[in-house]
Amino acid sequence: MNRNLIRKIIIPSFFIIAVLIAALIGLAVTSSVKYDRLKKMYEEDEEYISAKNSRVYHYAGEKQRMYVTLPGYGEVWVNGLEKMPLSEVDPDGLEKRDGRLVYAPGGEVASLCGIDLSHHNGDIDWDKVKADGIDFAFLRVGYRGYESGELNLDKRFHEYAQGASEAGIDIGVYFFSQAVTEEEALEETELLLSEIEGYDIKYPVVLDWETIGGGEKARTDDISVDKLNRIAALFCNTVAENGYIPMIYLSKIQGIFKYDLDTLAGFDIWLAEYRDRPEFPYLFTVWQYASDGRVDGIDGEVDMDIAFVDYSKERR
């Protein structure tokens, strides 16, 4: 190969490499200078840093926060709702008397004691139930199968409704819903309304829509929030149009993550949360606080409820 050609190729290559090395050194020096200047600015300008943190703090504090513990995630937080009223229950006013929760914020009891039942509770001596201090009972009218989707009546509803009424216990009713469309919700509501006709229903008529869980596949597993809210609104509006007080039964998790309660803020809530003090932050008027209660006249365990409103005196 011609030596002049080799010289022409090699010399420019060395020149390019030298330029690149110089550029990298310059970049490193420049970055170091900029970092030192930035570090010095933050160290000296404490007022600026404080103001920045303050803005972030106030921005995050514009809405109420709620902390919830979720399986697999631990504690998580969500922003509070804007239209849903907050709970009016003072936790310090809750106390146990004779093994049951009562609400007595000023020392005087301002709540009523209740239970909720389905045919699984078996034979019931309603006079003994009344004598044991039970003021009201929610009775299941019917249910939809979570796999088949078929509608069913609770085989003891009429027996329970007659027995409770004759014993002087105020009654409300609920329907265990697995509706996935508004048409199915209307079917459930119409069935319920036809079965309670003729009874003195003083307590609310309740939509009890639940997820199944436990690894079982249900037709409601993939229902959207929007669809569920439309189902709830249709049920409650239809119930109200027929002269009854509508209500939605829900757990804390359902109320926070599955329902959009801002769109349902006009309907009463029956909260299911098994503890001595509820953590649900929004307004509820009935609270199912235990599933292992004991009541004379009923064999086995029973769901226990406390009402913060005397629905027997509520105007519809």
Q: Count structural domains, the chain.
A: 2
**Does residue 253 register a pLDDT over 50?**
yes
Q: What percent of the chain has pLDDT over 90?
A: 63
Are β-strands 100-103 and 94-97 bridged in parallel, bridged antiparallel, or unpaired?
A: antiparallel
Is 207 or 107 the better-scoring residue by pLDDT? Answer: 207
**Does residue 95 register a pLDDT over 60?**
yes
pTM here is 0.78
Find the mean pLDDT for residues 44-57: 35
Q: Is residue 65 part of a domain?
A: no
pLDDT for position 245: 96
Query: Are residues 96 and 195 part of one domain?
Result: yes
pLDDT for position 64: 67
pLDDT for position 5: 41
Q: Is residue 74 part of a domain?
A: no
Query: Are residues 230 and 136 part of one domain?
Result: yes
Calculate the CA 162 to chain-centre distance: 33
Q: How many CB atoms lie within 10 A of CB 225?
A: 12
Q: Is residue 72 part of a domain?
A: no
pLDDT for position 33: 46
pLDDT for position 108: 92
Q: Is residue 67 part of a domain?
A: no
Q: Is residue 27 part of a domain?
A: yes
Separation between Cα atoms, residue 37 and residue 238, nearest integer Å: 68
Query: Are residues 199 and 158 part of one domain?
Result: yes
Query: Are residues 93 and 185 part of one domain?
Result: yes
Q: Is residue 68 part of a domain?
A: no
Domain that holds residue 22: 3-59
Q: Give the per-residue SS3 of the chain.
A: CCHHHHHHHHHHHHHHHHHHHHHHHHHHHHHHHHHHHHHHHHHHCHHHHHHHHHHHHHHHCCCCEEEEEECCCEEEEEECCCCCCECCCCHHHEEEECCEEEECCCCCCCCEEEEEECHHHCCECHHHHHHCCCCEEEEEEEEECCCCCCEEECCCHHHHHHHHHHCCCEEEEEEEECCCCHHHHHHHHHHHHHHHCCCCEEEEEEEEECCCCCCCCCCCCCCCHHHHHHHHHHHHHHHHHCCCCEEEEEEHHHHHHHCCHHHHCCCEEEEECCCCCCCCCECCCEEEEEEEECCCCECCCEEEEEECCCHHHCCC
Q: What phi, psi does 227 have (nearest 5°)?
A: -65, -45
Query: Are residues 243 and 131 part of one domain?
Result: yes
Query: Are residues 183 and 308 part of one domain?
Result: yes
Query: Are residues 245 and 180 part of one domain?
Result: yes
Query: Are residues 146 and 30 part of one domain?
Result: no
Query: Are residues 241 and 116 part of one domain?
Result: yes
Query: Are residues 193 and 49 part of one domain?
Result: no
CATH code of the domain covering residue 148: 3.20.20.80
Q: How many CB atoms lie within 10 A of CB 179?
A: 27
